[in-house]
Amino acid sequence: MSVSLRQLRALVAAAETGSFGRAAVRLHLSQPALTVQIRTLEEALGLTLFDRSARGAQPTEAGRSLAQSFGRLLEELDQLVAGAQEQAARRSGTVHLAVLPSVAATLLPVALARLRRAHPGIRVLLRDAVARRVAEQVKAGDAELGIGILDGADAGLETEPLFEDALVAVLPPGHALAARASVSPAALAREPLVLTDPGSSVRALAERAFAEAGLTLRPAYEATYMSTAVALVRAGLGIGVLPATAVDLRMAPLLEIRPIEAPAMQRRILMLRRRGASLSPAADALAEAIRQAAGIPDAGALLTAGGGS
């Protein structure tokens, strides 16, 4: 015979109150119903838990010991249930998010501010990484959500487009190419270039665009961080090929920014999740905040298989 939570609660209440009648009131039961719960528990355990007499029922040594142990377990269980209900109501929870550094500095702060206003109890743990690592972390389950790009479809991921980003030419103050409305890859190939490191999605996109134009990309300088690349451009050491959304560009008003005449310089920023995996309520709330920050109505957002360029 199995033991139920109702039987355990009846035992704990009767032992704590010292009375079947008071225990029944606490549990919103009739006294006969509570008595049945205690008796069936004794039968299931093969133990006498209470000594009955005309003066009432007193817990035996076994009853008293088990009531204390089960009481601690029930308290922990109630806390776990309450915690799960808090998460379901989006009042608490933790989300692991993998994100491209350029997005982490632009779109993400807006999204997190929205999330905090709507759900202040949700915590987000950020892992900024290059595009390949963002996808890997999401597929491995190390991150519940990702914001990055994909080079083609990935059967292990579901994707949702967020926005389009373009690489632009970032010119030092007074550079001759600033007289042009746009810059061609051929013109850039004749200049010293400041690029991100080879492991970044920005670098891969630039290399592909140059290859499509029949050109070889030869950087004069490589930088891991956008701020470093912008500083090198500001010092006149070369032309930067960087994302138009990079926050560091907004903080360098003396630099000239020109579009690059190459369709391949466009990239699609995607929200990623592991295929077939349900989002936790906290992650679902974060996804809504990200969509809102990107200007996407949440009700019309659909997760679709595929990738970005």
Residues 158 and 78 in one domain: no
CA distance 157 to 272: 6
187 inside domain: yes
Residues 151 and 291 in one domain: yes
Structural domain boundaries, residue 284:
93-163+267-300
> With pLDDT > 90 as the criterion, what percentage of the chain qualifies?
47
pLDDT score at 307: 39
Residues 36 and 178 in one domain: no
Residues 83 and 141 in one domain: no
pLDDT score at 137: 94
CA distance 44 to 30: 21
Which of 29, 63, 88 marks a domain boundary?
88
- Structural domain total, the chain: 3
Quick one: pLDDT band at residue 38, thresholds 50, 70, 90? very high
Residues 71 and 97 in one domain: no
CB 97 within 8 A of CB 147: yes
- What would the pLDDT profile of 175-221 be if each residue is shown by its tens digit? 999 999 999 999 999 999 999 988 788 888 899 889 988 998 889 99
Which of 61, 88, 115 marks a domain boundary?
88
Residues 155 and 273 in one domain: yes
- How many CA atoms are closer than 13 Å to the CA of 103, on its beta-carbon side? 34
Rg for the chain (alpha carbons), in Å? 31
CATH number for the domain spanning 159: value is 3.40.190.10
309 inside domain: no
How confident is the prediction for the chain on average, in pLDDT? 86
Query: Taking the model in full, what pTM does it have?
Result: 0.66
Tokens of 174: 């007074």
Quick one: pLDDT band at residue 3, thresholds 50, 70, 90? confident
308 inside domain: no
Beta bridge partners of 259: 168
Residues 98 and 84 in one domain: no
Task: Name 294's Cβ contacts closer than 8 Å, sequence gap at least 6.
Answer: 107, 111, 162, 163
307 inside domain: no
pLDDT score at 125: 94
Residues 80 and 147 in one domain: no
306 inside domain: no
Quick one: pLDDT band at residue 300, thresholds 50, 70, 90? very low
Which of 72, 88, 104 marks a domain boundary?
88
Residues 275 and 257 in one domain: no
CA distance 115 to 224: 29
Amino acid type, 163: F
- What would the pLDDT profile of 143-181 be if each residue is shown by its tens digit? 999 999 887 778 899 999 999 888 999 999 889 999 999
